C-alpha cells in the first residue's frame, strides 16, 4: 500500500536521482523539480509527478528535500521568485524542508532561520557516501535540527541511508560533513601520491594498489577507486569541483592545519586544469612527482 506522506524532491544530480528513486520505490508519492527539466524524465516514467517550480513542489508535498550543488543553488531554490519560501509559503505552515546538500554550517543556520520565520520546519541532513551508497540506500546521514523534526524525517532517512545521526542544531551536520570530506581529500591525495611515487621507482600501479588494499592501509575508499586508477577513467561519482567547494567551506569554517592549505591548493589547481567535472580521483592526473 502507498505511504501517505507526500514527498517533494528538488535536485536530480548524481546523488539526488538515485535517492529520489529509492523513495519512489519505497512507495512514497514523490513530486520532483530539476532545473534542467529533461533529467526528470526517468523519474516521471517511474511514477513521479513533475512540478513547474520549487513553490509548486511545496504545494504538493508534506516534506520537501533539496539535494543541490552548493550554497548558491540551495539559496536560489529557497529564496528565488518561485522558490520554496516565495509568497504563499505561509499557506504551508508546519511542513518540513530538509536540505541534504553539502553547504556551509552558516548557510544551514541561515536557511533554518528564514524557513522558521515563514512558519515551516527545517532540518539539514548532508550525507557521507557517494553514488553507490545512494543507489543502495546505505548513506550515512548527518543531521542538524530539532529532535522533533528529526523524528518526522526518520522514516525517510531509513529508506535513504543505513544510519542517521542527530548531531545538534542546524550547522552541526554540515560541520561533521566538512570534517569528513577533509579526511576524504587527504586520503585521495595520499593514495594518488603513493601510487605515483611507487611508479616513479618502477612499481606498477596494479602492484602498488594490491599492496595497499591487502594491507592495513587498504580501506573502502582505496578499494572503490582502484579500478578508476588502473583504467585511467574518472567518471564523476563525487565531482572534483564539489570537493574544491567543500574544502573551501571547511577553510571558512576554521580549518587551518599543516596539511589543509597544500591540499586545498592541489585540488584547486586540478580544478583550474579542467578536471572539475571528473571524479575526485582524477587529482592523480594533475599531481607531479
Provide the annotated active-site residues: 177
User: Which of the stretches 63-71, 84-92, 112-120, 220-228 binds ligand NAP when contact is defined by CB under 6 A?
Assistant: 63-71
User: If binding is defined by CB under 6 A, does position 266 make contact with ligand NAP?
Assistant: no
User: If binding is defined by CB under 6 A, does position 34 make contact with ligand NAP?
Assistant: yes
Q: What angle do CA 167, 189, 208 make, to 5 degrees?
A: 120
Q: Which is nearer to ligand NAP, 29 or 173 (CB)?
A: 173
Q: Binders of ligand NAP: how many residues, by CB under 6 A?
A: 26
Crossing angle for the helix pair 172-200 and 205-214, to the nearest 10 degrees: 130
Pick one of 58, 73, 120, 156: the residue that binds ligand NAP (CB under 6 A). 73
**Paired sense of beta strands 161-168 and 49-50, if any:** unpaired
User: If binding is defined by CB under 6 A, does position 67 make contact with ligand NAP?
Assistant: yes
Q: Which residues share a beta bridge with 33? A: 10
User: If binding is defined by CB under 6 A, does position 13 make contact with ligand NAP?
Assistant: yes
Cell numbers given for 234: 574518472
Pick one of 21, 31, 102, 107: the residue that binds ligand NAP (CB under 6 A). 102
Tell me the backbone φ, ψ of residue 152, rounded to 5 degrees: -65, -35
Q: Least distance in Å: CB of 206 to ligand NAP?
A: 25
User: If binding is defined by CB under 6 A, does position 234 make contact with ligand NAP?
Assistant: no
Residue whose beta carbon is closest to ligand NAP: 13
* Dist. CA 116–CA 110, nearest whole Å: 10
User: What string of DSSP letters covers 155-193?
Assistant: HHHHHHEEEEEEEESTTHHHHHHHHHHHHHHHHHHHHHH
Q: What angle do CA 53, 243, 24 make, to 5 degrees?
A: 40
Q: Least distance in Å: CB of 37 to ligand NAP?
A: 8
Binding site for ligand NAP (CB under 6 A): 11-16, 34-36, 39, 67-70, 73, 76-77, 101-102, 127, 130-131, 237-239, 242
Amino acid at each position: 500500500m502507498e505511504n501517505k506522506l507526500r514527498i517533494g524532491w528538488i535536485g536530480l544530480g548524481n546523488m539526488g536521482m538515485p535517492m529520489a528513486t529509492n523513495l519512489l520505490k519505497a512507495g512514497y508519492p514523490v513530486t520532483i523539480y530539476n532545473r534542467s527539466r529533461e533529467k526528470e524524465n526517468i523519474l516521471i516514467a517511474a511514477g513521479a509527478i513533475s512540478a513547474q517550480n520549487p513553490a509548486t513542489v511545496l504545494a504538493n508535498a508534506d516534506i520537501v528535500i533539496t539535494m543541490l550543488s552548493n550554497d548558491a543553488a540551495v539559496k536560489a531554490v529557497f529564496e528565488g521568485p518561485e522558490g520554496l519560501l516565495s509568497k504563499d509559503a505561509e499557506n504551508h505552515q508546519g511542513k518540513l524542508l530538509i536540505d541534504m546538500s553539502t553547504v556551509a554550517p552558516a548557510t544551514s543556520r541561515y536557511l533554518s532561520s528564514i524557513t522558521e520565520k515563514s512558519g515551516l520546519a527545517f532540518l539539514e541532513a548532508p550525507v557521507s557516501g557517494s553514488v553507490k551508497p545512494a543507489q543502495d540506500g546505505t548513506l550515512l546521514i548527518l543531521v542538524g535540527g530539532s529532535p522533533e523534526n528529526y523524528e518526522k524525517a526518520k522514516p525517510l532517512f531509513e529508506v535513504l541511508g543505513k544510519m542517521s545521526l542527530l548531531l545538534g542544531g542546524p550547522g552541526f551536520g554540515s560541520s561533521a560533513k566538512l570534517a569528513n570530506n577533509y579526511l576524504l581529500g587527504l586520503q585521495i591525495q595520499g593514495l594518488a601520491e603513493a601510487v605515483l611515487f611507487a611508479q616513479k621507482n618502477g612499481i606498477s600501479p596494479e602492484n602498488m594498489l594490491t599492496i595497499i588494499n591487502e594491507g592495513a592501509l587498504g580501506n573502502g575508499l582505496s578499494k572503490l577507486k582502484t579500478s578508476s586508477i588502473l583504467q585511467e577513467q574518472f567518471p564523476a561519482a563525487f565531482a572534483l569541483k564539489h570537493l574544491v567547494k567543500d574544502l573551501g567551506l571547511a577553510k571558512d569554517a576554521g580549518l587551518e592545519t599543516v596539511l589543509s592549505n597544500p591540499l586545498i591548493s592541489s585540488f584547486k589547481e586540478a580544478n583550474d586544469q579542467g578536471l572539475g567535472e571528473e571524479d575526485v580521483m582524477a587529482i592523480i592526473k594533475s599531481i607531479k612527482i
